[in-house]
With several copies, the nearest count.
Chain A
């Protein structure tokens, strides 16, 4: 009775399978079909190259501010690769690779960051919410979708992404707590990339890990090497399986690193050392996975070379398509289209006003 320890159902674990030196834990090596392995590699590489091109476009002023992904390829793709098509995905704003995996056309990314609302469109059949910029707010939507799935007695699951910074927002906890109470089929993937703009993970919380935040809500939590696509995949697959079989939600902390800028408006030199970045470059998720696949006989240097060429072309195609769309004159009045299902009278009037204004402008332009 007196002063005694309370037994909690969960302990926090750490999982790593393929480390930065190429050491593989054979026991833990997950059984992943070859085509998935190859596709994972291809998408990781393609993501890296896409990032590089976008940085270029942004520097040339051809698109606006965007958040690069560099370094987080494994933790996004390892997670999302465990989903079925009918499952749902609820991203934050740095998960473009996960969105591409799910079928989002790359040109939509370019349109979106080029300032075109059209880029936010979600194609029919892809069960993903669009980008959510307000930090920490989207996980609750995932839980609501999960509750919907339960209500409809489907065996789909929902995966939601967020950063280390997001775990400080109250909404994050409300989401975990609702998921726990309703045992909703949700997989919470925390992309702990060590930084929330200039604020390091150590300043974000006094907790030793982010995974342990699951304990507050009676959920299992695990920390994985987020630069090890095998570990991410294995942990996600386990969590997806648990959710799909009615055993409730899981929190996965992917321990990774934002190797690039927060966004193109950011200057990381102000707040972190080059050394830190260099250290993390050694842990880059792509080379170790490439070495693993090469060893497995699934890749050769020639294949990679060809891949690079294909990827470059693919990206160029997306850019061309996006720029073609952006070169066309847009109808600014489209901005009235999606406020409500139907335009109410007051907005019909405002739309007319905008239309009149635009036509006056055109006239003026003609006269100038």
Chain B
């Protein structure tokens, strides 16, 4: 197995799916010759040509709108929105059509498209380049919302997203693009959408998170174990929506305590749904209030103040301790 960055792993997923399936087509701004501003589609154009790796005009609604048409026609467009902060330009198309054409046509049509887009902060970027608004998509019926947390699961989930018969919004935590390498098998590997993963077992508390936050979550768990003897069970959602809460429920029914971590603003954020699900299914097992460690409900600051905005190991450790102390 080769050690790959997330960028390389995502590239591999697209390359192999394109080799296997001529319905798979890449569209987006700068995805061709430039290989994407983060190089995720690097050199795909030289292998597959301009017909299959399409540099589009600068128009997000145009990208998603034509992708919907292609998907209805029977292709499998994988389109890139350059930053998730610009994905709101596609929102009306996604909500009104991608998410609904299956229903509207009573099953005659469906829209197997993937919207790949880099999300999240921590890379000292400009305004609109650090946001995490997965909740918008997660709250939209008819759309699946996926966020990987490392090269290997990024590759495997993207493969499944491409094969999925329904629209998938695929957020790529840009802070992880080159943060670390993982063994990624050359041979085909996929992972079902809709299944959170148990990353580490523990008895004292359950930490639920996803995406780039898995890094400080794991660090926090290490620190808690070493310094405080607290053993956290860790769950990586991977698919935010449709959310399967089976694993979360069983874990918290064991540990009795939970902390939820995400970069997104707290209020009406993904963490709220996790708390609500825990209350619905596991109320009587909860021994302490579930804590949310999240971004604040403010405009994401420029990078001089970014560290103060972002959840990090310290904040997570603190929250876990508070959850256990009570």
Contact = CB atoms under 8 A, between A and B. Distances in A.
Check A-B contact in the complex, CB < 8 A. yes
Interface of A: 64-65, 88, 90, 112, 114-124, 129-149, 151, 165-166, 168-171, 174-175, 177-178, 181, 196-199, 203-205, 265-266, 270-271, 326, 330, 332-341, 344-347, 350-351, 354, 357-358, 360-361, 364
Interface of B: 25, 29-30, 32-35, 37, 51-52, 54-62, 64-75, 77, 85-86, 89, 92-93, 96-97, 101-110, 124-129, 141-142, 144, 165-166, 194, 242-246, 266-267, 296-299, 301-309, 314-315, 318
Contact of A344 (B29, B194, B266, B315): B194
Given A121-B105, A134-B92, A339-B299, A177 B68 contact: no
B264 to A, nearest CB: 13
B242 A168 contact: no
A168 B144 CA distance: 28
- B64, B65, B67, B142: residue with the most chain A Cβ atoms closer than 10 Å: B65
Contact of A341 (B56, B110, B318): B110
Contacts, number: 265
A338 B107 contact: yes
A63 B102 CA distance: 24
A339 B141 contact: yes
Nearest to A124: B108
26 contacts: A64-B125, A118-B106, A122-B105, A124-B108, A129-B72, A130-B105, A133-B127, A134-B89, A136-B59, A137-B96, A138-B97, A140-B65, A143-B66, A144-B67, A144-B69, A165-B58, A169-B58, A174-B59, A178-B57, A198-B34, A332-B301, A333-B308, A335-B309, A336-B296, A339-B141, A345-B244
A334 B59 contact: no
Given A134-B86, A149-B73, A197 B30 contact: yes
Given A130-B109, A140-B68, A347-B296, 6 more contacts: A115-B124, A145-B69, A174-B59, A203-B55, A335-B296, A346-B243
A357 B314 contact: yes
Contact of A141 (B65, B307, B309): B65
B19 to A, nearest CB: 17
Contacts of B62: 140, 143, 168, 170-171, 174-175, 177-178
